[in-house]
Amino acid sequence: MKQVTVGNSGLRVSRIGFGTLTWGRETDGDEAAAQLSAFAEAGGTLVDTSPAYSSGTAQRILAELLGDVVPRDALVLSGTSGIDATVAGLEQIDCSRRALLHHLDRTLRELGTDHLDVWQVAAWDDETPVDEVAATLEYAVATGRARYVGARGFAGWQLATIAQTVGTGFVVAESAYSLLDRSAEYELVPAAQHHGVGLFADMPLAGGILTGKYRSGIPADSRGADESRGEEVRGHLTDRTNRVVEAVVTAADGLGTSPLAVALAWARDRAGVCSAIVGARDSAQLTGVLAGEELELPRAISSALDDVSA
């Protein structure tokens, strides 16, 4: 798997990142071990974790696998702080210095490591001065808790504000980015490029919609069929979505590959994107992701997808 430099830094990550959002909820420990092993064997390095995933269960599963399944030093661990999800069904944003460092130190203890390779503020906090957040990020780098820092889910102006405030190590922004959600292009991508910040593209398959699985309805075993978590997926099944998905399927048929590979390659190769982060419920889904990693979209097809998704 190709390695890509992140922004104006020396940090290198695999251009496909592995997300652990489903671990502990849809993916058990044995399956997670098989996935992490396959990802590393394919040359993948970037692994995304958060104490907010499955109320902390995903992070605890990862902790059991580091060292035993994959050496810690073989991975680029990216984690977040700032969202408290310890109460089921509730998420509270708190990016104060106290909360951020508390979450970071707890993550380090759980993972059994002395640092994260990338540590991100999980959300913009209107209640905490940006200078305080910036100083906390700098402190984490200065004390060795984090090698590089960044932000997740920020708007363009928010990213620009904190990027020019943090003195050292601010190199990445993470945001949803796919053929069905190109909102990052309006402000976030230009702001990131101006400040030398790389972009991690989250949800490049739009929750699985771009794989074509919902073309003929909602499969019973899909995320869209889940009563508690399927509303967001079902809300995106619009006429525009149908047009984009059909274009992806047509491109895949012409290239002799899968819709998953086409949608992933499109997001992965966008300007400013350093890595596209994909989660997998099981090893079969991950195999599809890894199999499509080598796909390079012809310029004509990429342009056609740009047009239909604009």
In this structure, of 59-68, 82-91, 138-147, 301-310, the range with the lowest mean pLDDT score is 82-91
CA–CA separation, 174 and 272 (whole Å)? 11
Write out pLDDT tens, residues 36-59: 999 999 999 999 999 888 888 999
CA atoms within 13 A on the CB side of 178: 26
Say whether pLDDT at 96 is over 60. yes
CA–CA separation, 77 and 79 (whole Å)? 6
Single-letter code of the amino acid located at 281: R
CATH topology of domain 3-205+268-296: TIM Barrel (3.20.20)
Say whether pLDDT at 240 is over 70. yes
Closest CA to 80 of 110, 111, 48, 32: 48
Write out pLDDT tens, residues 212-231: 987 865 655 555 545 555 56
Radius of gyration of the chain from its Cα atoms, rounded to whole angstroms: 19
Instruction: Give the pair of three-digit tokens for residue 201.
Output: 């593209």
Q: Is the dihedral of CA 47, 48, 54, 56 positive or negative?
A: positive
Domain ranges of the chain: 3-205+268-296
- Give the pLDDT score at 229: 57
